[in-house]
Structure 1
Amino acid sequence: MNDHVNPVSSNMRSVLRPRRLALLGTVAALGVAMLAAAPGGSLFNAASFTSPALAAEANQAPAGFADLVAKVKPAVISVRVKIDQDNDKRAMFQQNRMDSDEDTPFDQFSREFGFRGPNGMQQFGKGMPQRHRQVTGEGSGFFISADGYAVTNNHVVDHAESVQVTMDDGTVYTAKVVGTDPKTDLALIKVEGKKDFPFVKFADARPRIGDWVVAVGNPFGLGGTVTAGIVSASGRDIGAGPYDDYIQIDAPINKGNSGGPAFDMNGNVIGVNTAIFSPSGGSVGIGFDIPAQTAKLVVAQLKDKGSVTRGWLGVQVQPVNADIADSLGLKEAKGAIVDNPQDGSPAAKAGIEAGDVITAVNGTAIKDSRELARTISTMAPGSSVKLDVWHKGAAKTVTLTLGELPNERQAKNDAKNGKADDKGKADEGQAQPGTPRLGLGLAPAGEVQGAGQKGLVVTQVDPEGPAAQRGIQTGDVILNVGGKAVASVGDVRSELMQAKSAGKRSVLLQVKSADATKFVAVPLG
């Protein structure tokens, strides 16, 4: 049997069976009542044999989605783009798509009958040089105003040289890209020339887990396809970007659904279909939507100025786990610990230091580093912000003015091309008995080429040691231990003993690796 073909499973049959049994029970009760109506006898009321709720269910037809679909479907569009493959644009386009590169039966079907190739893209010019070909891609979208503004995904229109939209009645229009936001994968397009397009609105409230959801879109280029399911989860981080906050749904969405809407039962858009989890390339009932609240904020800026500006704090942060909280004396593992305030940033100017934990913004508690990033990103540059900070064992409040998030910010790494050697190596195991062990060999950074001048380079790692268990690797640079800068093995030993004397179960290390600077809480062995 083809793995992609999923007949009605036993699970589905088990879901249907209770409903069927309930209806049969109602019919049986009615039969008893009819038999009791013998000539000359009294006719019993069937309601006396059934509960009021069951009787009401028997008299009411199952609710469907037809009325909802008739209301919203005209506002949903298919989006078709053309991309010039010159200068490797096609490779960039494919990289930014949410759709899997794996083939599905629809891909095989499409190629066999001369339709689209893999990923739903039509291929032209077989035999032409690879450096210059044209491809087309298809996705979905929806009108949000009568004058032709429509929302889709950034990865649908990314690098597009032309955009066409097809309405539910088959009418085709040319559209232009008003603005895009790669960080949230949203785009705003515009169809000119009409003022009476059907449109839908964003929902005001986030849906609850378990609420019904209806997705409409253009899967595999089929157009006008409706699927239904429920909201499966909320606040999903799938590693797609810095502001991940996806709504997870189980309404089937596939290649080509990108940019289409997901509706609640009132016909409001609760999210924009963006990504799927798919080992096979087809829907397995795990899809991800950009929340309506995020889309509204982004689309408003795209419409106003064609781009999105975000508040900028200027810190690299990471979540606070239980070990980090313990090493810092925090009661709860919440907030965002600052790995590195960037030079000249609003945070650095306000005195925020590496190792500080931001616990609240304008009085609202921050759960983790991702929530901090999302919160700051919704604020306008120039906004005054009050931060609650845990600084060296005490709480304090810092007020600062946000900057503007640069479009591209590359982190520099002094040790990027450096390699650790054994020069000046000192094993922490040479310490006196009773000193906690990390399982590391260390050398001053200034003695290792390419490692910079600050901290200690990890020259050896005991694979069974506590540091290895926390992911510390050869070539990493330890900048501070327990909140204090270290320049020698003796400094490390001193801080380890101090942490042990304070009764701490772990010690916090600031570690510079090949790709970032971060804090790692290592158990005191």
Structure 2
Amino acid sequence: MKIFLGKQWVFFIALLLIISGVQAEGLPDFTELVKKNSPAVVNISTTQKVTRSGPGFPRGLHQFPKGTPFDDFFRHFFGDQGGDEGQQKFETHSLGSGFIISSDGYIITNYHVIRDADTIIVRLNDRRELEAKVIGSDERSDLALLKVGTEGLPTLKHGNSRDLKVGEWVLAIGSPFGFEYSATAGIISALGRSLPEESYIPFIQTDVAINPGNSGGPLFNLAGEVIGINSQIYSRTGGFMGLSFAIPIDVAMEAVAQLKEKGQVTRGWLGVIIQDVTRELAESFGLEKPQGALVAKILLGSPAAAGGVQVGDIILSFDGKPVPQSSALPPLVGLAKVGQTINVQVLRSGAQKTLKIKIGELPEEGELQKAVGKPGQIIEKRLSLEVADLSTEKRAQLNLDSGIQVINVTEGPASEAGVQSGDILLSINDTQIKDIKQFKGVVEKLPSGKTVPMLLQRGQSTSFIAIKIPKNS
């Protein structure tokens, strides 16, 4: 069959072919990247032994002596309760990804991939399966460092996540839903994303298809360098919806170096509660545009308190790095070395001021929650007790016009003196206590090494006790 085309149609088709050829040339070819780097990507499977209660005997029905007819009957229907009160043991399994960073067997993955695992099996590209041990893990950054006992393994080269740009092509290799060595590509959608409960990680946002099983796998740039570790997705269905988040490789390698050296990660700590600067707040503080991190609270005993930070300060830069919004500050602080003195530029009363702050170590989550406390509640370290203001209702109930309540007592001067949780502290060293703010000032002035009187109300009775102020306070 012959087809006749006019000159205009021939020209039009030729133009389309040229355009499509140009477009094809503009798209990246990932074939060599995948071929070269896949051998250093691993599949990780974990096994966790779980114990849970079985169906057990019916409520209110007692067990019968072993070997009796009734015992055999109920064991037939309700199972052998044994000595574990009907507990059943079974195994759960999970899948994830990882990649090799050294030829002697060090592997990076996500913490949530190996969390609570009893057994970790690493499957290599050549189908070898090796049991791995955990060298160290860090829940805050969702990173874990594993080690397998073999040599001569292929490795991946890591790049520099600080040089990334939005719109740049990236590729992921992993095991989504157990489909090993799946490659998916996309672009960087945004940089420095802050996610809920993950304020110390400036995530890389991409539109690369990431699904359960990709966690812990590498994110590559076009040069074949690892620039991120795939960690999370945003989804309303549990599957991929176009929003994937990766831990920047610079942040990851800093954590890995600490995990390799000491099995845990320490982070810098400033000790402030911050909020974003809105357009209205910027105007009220005399800023031309919204920027910085507004200090809403300063934690007791924190580096910020010692360094002169005040509530209402707007932190504009940290160690010479700008703070465009509040979410930019925690990653900068977290990466700062503990004990290092940092210049922090703040806006205070319309004027810029530079403070020198010695960075502390970020406390454990439990200790941090105690330090944060609640409104009207503080931890007094000098006396080793936690106190809170009395509510109006509580004052009326106890018929008091002053006093504060003891919330918790830890080992130290207060516990040695006999202070108990629930006590109402009325006075100390002959000074009436009205609220926790005044109490804090009174305690700071107590004479070191001296014993002072403290008036407490416990129930309906009041009594004095003697409390010794420590010399090293």
Common fold: TM-score over 0.5: yes
Q: Match for residue 427 of structure 2? A: none
CA distance in 1, matches of 2:180, 2:280: 51
Kindly state the Cα deviation for residue 236 of structure 1 after the two structures are TM-superposed. 2.1
Alignment of 1:72 onto 2:37? yes
For structure 1, the 5+ residue unaligned runs are 1-26, 34-45, 89-127, 426-444, 453-486, 488-525
Kindly state the Cα deviation for residue 293 of structure 1 after the two structures are TM-superposed. 1.9
Residue 200 of structure 1, aligned match among 147, 156, 166: 156
Residue 345 of structure 2, aligned match among 388, 413, 434: 388
Which AA in structure 2 matches 1:139? G
Residue 166 of structure 1, aligned match among 123, 140, 160: 123
Q: Percent identity?
A: 37
CA distance in 2, matches of 1:80, 1:239: 27
Contact 1:29 1:50 in 2 (8 A): no
Alignment of 1:376 onto 2:341? no
RMSD: 3.5
Q: What SS does the aligned partner of 2:164 have?
A: coil
Superimposed CA distance per residue, residues 156-206 of structure 1 (whole angstroms, 9 cap, x where no aligned partner): 111122211001221100111111111111111111221x11111222244
Kindly state the Cα deviation for residue 132 of structure 1 after the two structures are TM-superposed. 4.3
Q: Match for residue 210 of structure 1? A: 167
Kindly state the Cα deviation for residue 209 of structure 1 after the two structures are TM-superposed. 2.0
Kindly state the Cα deviation for residue 337 of structure 1 after the two structures are TM-superposed. 1.5
CA distance in 1, matches of 2:295, 2:8: 70
Kindly state the Cα deviation for residue 139 of structure 1 after the two structures are TM-superposed. 0.7
CA distance in 1, matches of 2:170, 2:290: 34
Contact 2:108 2:145 in 1 (8 A): yes
CA distance in 2, matches of 1:414, 1:381: 28
Contact 2:98 2:218 in 1 (8 A): yes
Kindly state the Cα deviation for residue 414 of structure 1 after the two structures are TM-superposed. 5.3
Q: Match for residue 324 of structure 1? A: 281
Which AA in structure 2 matches 1:85? V
CA distance in 1, matches of 2:26, 2:210: 28
CA distance in 1, matches of 2:359, 2:23: 60
Superimposed CA distance per residue, residues 245-296 of structure 1 (whole angstroms, 9 cap, x where no aligned partner): 2212222111111111111111111211111122222222221111122112
Kindly state the Cα deviation for residue 134 of structure 1 after the two structures are TM-superposed. 2.4
CA distance in 2, matches of 1:61, 1:412: 55
Q: Aligned runs of 1:32-431 on 2, under 5 Å?
A: 54=19, 57=22, 64-86=29-51, 132-194=89-151, 196-205=152-161, 206-408=163-365, 409-410=368-369, 411-413=372-374
Q: What SS does the aligned partner of 1:242 have?
A: strand
CA distance in 1, matches of 2:322, 2:113: 36
Q: What SS does the aligned partner of 2:200 have?
A: coil
Superimposed CA distance per residue, residues 447-474 of structure 1 (whole angstroms, 9 cap, x where no aligned partner): 999899xxxxxxxxxxxxxxxxxxxxxx
Contact 1:76 1:217 in 2 (8 A): yes
Contact 1:420 1:449 in 2 (8 A): no
For structure 2, the 5+ residue unaligned runs are 54-84, 378-387, 408-434, 436-473
Contact 2:52 2:87 in 1 (8 A): no
CA distance in 1, matches of 2:27, 2:188: 20
Which AA in structure 2 matches 1:384? T
CA 1:406–1:28: 2 relative to 1, 3 Å: farther
Kindly state the Cα deviation for residue 55 of structure 1 after the two structures are TM-superposed. 9.6
CA distance in 2, matches of 1:339, 1:386: 20
Kindly state the Cα deviation for residue 235 of structure 1 after the two structures are TM-superposed. 2.2
CA 1:173–1:415: 2 relative to 1, 3 Å: same
CA 1:412–1:71: 2 relative to 1, 3 Å: same
Please identify runs of 4+ aligned residues in structure 1 that moved more than 6 A: 27-31, 58-62, 416-425, 445-452
CA 1:60–1:209: 2 relative to 1, 3 Å: closer
TM-score normalised by L of structure 2: 0.67
Kindly state the Cα deviation for residue 133 of structure 1 after the two structures are TM-superposed. 3.3
Which AA in structure 2 matches 1:153? N
Q: What SS does the aligned partner of 2:47 have?
A: strand
CA distance in 2, matches of 1:342, 1:182: 23
Contact 2:192 2:328 in 1 (8 A): no
CA distance in 1, matches of 2:50, 2:130: 24
How many aligned positions are there? Answer: 355
Which AA in structure 2 matches 1:262? L
CA distance in 1, matches of 2:321, 2:204: 22
Between stretches 233-242 and 128-137, larger displacement belongs to 128-137
CA distance in 1, matches of 2:153, 2:252: 20
CA 1:360–1:275: 2 relative to 1, 3 Å: same
Which AA in structure 2 matches 1:203? G
CA 1:129–1:255: 2 relative to 1, 3 Å: farther
Q: Match for residue 70 of structure 2? A: none
